[in-house]
Amino acid sequence: MARLELQNIGFAYETAHWVFEDVSFSVEANETVGIIGANGAGKSTLLKLIVGLEMVNRGTIRMDGEPLTTKTLASIRRKEGYVFQDAESQLFMGTVYEDVAFAPENYGVDRESVEEQVKKALELTGISHLRDRHIYKLSGGEKKLASIATILSTEPEMILMDEPSVALDPCNRDKLIRVINGLPGMKLLASHDLDFIYDTCQRTLVLGKGGIVYDGPTEQVLKDRAFLEQYGLRLPLSFRFAVGRDCK
Amino acid sequence: MKRNMAKHSTGKMDHAIREIHHVDREKGSCSRSNELHPLAKLSVTILYMLFVVSVENYHPVGLLYLLVYPLAMMILYDISFIRCMKRLKVVFFFVFCMGIANPIFNRIPVLNFWGITLTAGMLSMITLWMKALLTVLAGYILMEMTTMDQICYGLRCLHVPAGFVVLLSLIYRYLILFLKETDRMMKAYQLRAPGQKGVHFRVWGSLLGNLLLRTMDQGQRVYESMILRGFRGEYYLHTGRVSKRDSYLFVGIWMGIFVILKLFPIVYR
Ligand SMILES: Nc1ncnc2c1ncn2[C@@H]1O[C@H](COP(=O)(O)OP(=O)(O)OP(=O)(O)O)[C@@H](O)[C@H]1O
Ligand SMILES: [Mg+2]
């Protein structure tokens, strides 16, 4: 089963502007980890490094002990499913069906199994009725759900989502939380929606300048108003208005 | 009034996007052409184009017979002739400009039609027009019956190099992104510059620069999304209802017709 390990990662888009200077952490299979931080803290960048869309300048990323290099990229990506921050660029085929079927087809799954996997993914995300709709004609939230379905159809061992709850109405957001909690495997969720993180992740990483400033239980950090505010975040609503919950 | 004009121009953009998608949409759902294997449609189109191109340069009449293909296809597969003309008018304009100089350079008289002398240049101009027209029509019919992805699938079946096919499909996707991005930017611009006719020339530069950067960015992300989902330059057959028999028949019948037209050029000899 998948285990992700980052060792002393350093990364910069432009020389001398380190997004990460020295980041290390590991995630076990079946763990769900939230990644939070202010705008520009590097949440999307961290996910991109893990799927190999950007390559680290220093350190190593290992998946199941295998280091992520250009050689191992294809086999590692096969295990990963990555949902983009902006659904618009994730979807590119004509219809929802074609888009969701894209990955399994490329992985050489036979036609009948593709149909089945697509059906399952669409049911999970609750968009079976959009199966033959054109991508261009979907609403923002529907696009988001479709882009999540596109990665569920390959049943990845590891799921990475960048702002999954953005653009979803409360009902679909709750549904997504149930879907995520019901999925097996490792999950990394980057989000500003701290309530969403609270409802899905046991463990949370907080990104500050240059790296990780907190790595531990979600509940503990989300209650800590002073700490959150120091890193450009606010108490989640569940704690702000909760009576009897002791916030610092 | 002015605002209406602004609205009109973004409406046009939106229309263009819908149009380009619409082309895809129709094949997805209705029409019998879905039952034909994309390779069958592609090979008949290519074959037809070869036949058109192979007609001699001074025989416009010989080309008249080849009109049979676009006409029959349009009738058989419910492709609107009027819509086709509307969509292709720009292309036709270019075709028109293409051969226009021929009669000037080549003035050797070849035919005398009831007192009107036709020069070789005129004949070659008309032939050129017709050839271009027929090939464009055939291409349009193919696009109307098949999605871009399925055309790419057909090209791969014909062993066209993967690099070329991928490039083709990326250009197509890039075009869609470009239109969408233009639409979005024009809307954003017009909302903040109400009552302005068109775009002020002073912002053209930054608008265009931004547009290119944004489209390139989006294009990059779409490509990444494809790569992350295992794309390696291969395409797959989407429609589950392909009829082998009909596909073979389709290719066989058209090939037969083309060959007969080629072997027995009844009138123009
Ligand atoms: N392609 C790029 N080239 C140069 N710098 C970039 C690029 N992408 C991101 N950055 C910079 O890297 C830093 C981290 O960006 P990233 O997108 O990872 O932030 P984020 O935490 O996901 O922010 P947000 O919450 O706004 O999505 C930012 O300072 C950003 O300006
Ligand atoms: Mg981000």
Shortest Cα distance, chain B CAs vs residue A173, angstroms: 23
Question: Is residue B245 domain-shared with residue B137, that is, in the same domain?
Answer: yes
- Contact residues on chain A for B173, CB-CB shorter than 8 A: 92
Question: Is residue B17 domain-shared with residue B87, that is, in the same domain?
Answer: no
Question: Is residue B37 domain-shared with residue B132, that is, in the same domain?
Answer: yes
Q: What spacing in Å lies between the alpha carbon of B42 and ligand 2's midpoint? A: 42
Sequence-separated (6 or more) residues with CB below 8 Å from residue A220? none
Per this entry, what is the length of chain A? Answer: 248
Q: What pLDDT digit, counting tens, does each position of B167-200 carry?
A: 888 888 888 888 888 888 887 787 777 777 777 7
Say whether A94 and B28 touch across the interface (CB within 8 A): yes
> Is residue B209 in a domain?
yes
Question: Is residue B121 domain-shared with residue B224, that is, in the same domain?
Answer: no
pLDDT of chain A, 248 residues: tens digit per residue = 568 999 999 999 988 789 999 999 999 999 999 999 999 999 999 999 999 999 999 999 999 999 999 899 888 988 999 999 888 888 888 889 989 999 998 888 888 899 999 999 999 999 999 998 888 788 888 999 999 999 999 999 999 999 999 888 998 899 899 989 988 899 999 999 999 999 999 999 999 988 899 999 999 999 998 999 999 888 888 777 765 544 45
Which ligand 1 atom sits closest to the C-alpha of A45?
18
Structural domain count of chain B: 2
* Amino acid at position A102, single letter: F
Chain B within 8 Å of A89 (Cβ-Cβ)? yes
Residue ID of nearest Cα to ligand 1 atom 6: A13
> Is residue B155 in a domain?
no
Domain with B219 in it: 1-25+160-237
Residue ID of nearest Cα to ligand 1 atom 26: A39
| Nearest residue to B64 (alpha-carbon basis) of B127, B109, B142 | B127
Could you give the residue ranges of the DSSP H alpha helices within A52-139?
73-77, 87-90, 96-106, 111-125
Contact B92, B24 (CB under 8 A): no
Q: What is the DSSP string of B39-88?
A: HHHHHHHHHHHHHHHHS-TT-HHHHHGGGHHHHHHHHHTT--HHHHHHHH
> Is residue B98 in a domain?
yes
> Is residue B2 in a domain?
yes
Question: Is residue B139 domain-shared with residue B54, that is, in the same domain?
Answer: yes
Question: Is residue B40 domain-shared with residue B125, that is, in the same domain?
Answer: yes
Q: What pLDDT digit, counting tens, does each position of B111-163 carry?
A: 777 777 778 888 888 888 888 989 999 999 998 888 888 889 999 989 999 88
Q: What spacing in Å lies between the alpha carbon of A148 and ligand 1's midpoint? A: 22
Question: Is residue B77 domain-shared with residue B131, that is, in the same domain?
Answer: yes
Question: Is residue B65 domain-shared with residue B134, that is, in the same domain?
Answer: yes
Question: Is residue B232 domain-shared with residue B179, that is, in the same domain?
Answer: yes
Which residue in chain B is spatially nearest to A52 when comparing CA positions? Answer: B228
Match 């019998």 to its residue by tokens: B32
Question: Is residue B131 domain-shared with residue B204, that is, in the same domain?
Answer: no
Question: Is residue B181 domain-shared with residue B142, that is, in the same domain?
Answer: no
Chain B within 8 Å of A106 (Cβ-Cβ)? yes
Q: What spacing in Å lies between the alpha carbon of A42 and ligand 2's midpoint? A: 7
Q: How far apart are CA A178 and CA A176, in angstroms?
A: 5
> Is residue B152 in a domain?
no
**C-alpha A168 chain-centroid distance:** 15
> Is residue B151 in a domain?
no
Question: Is residue B211 domain-shared with residue B108, that is, in the same domain?
Answer: no
> Is residue B53 in a domain?
yes
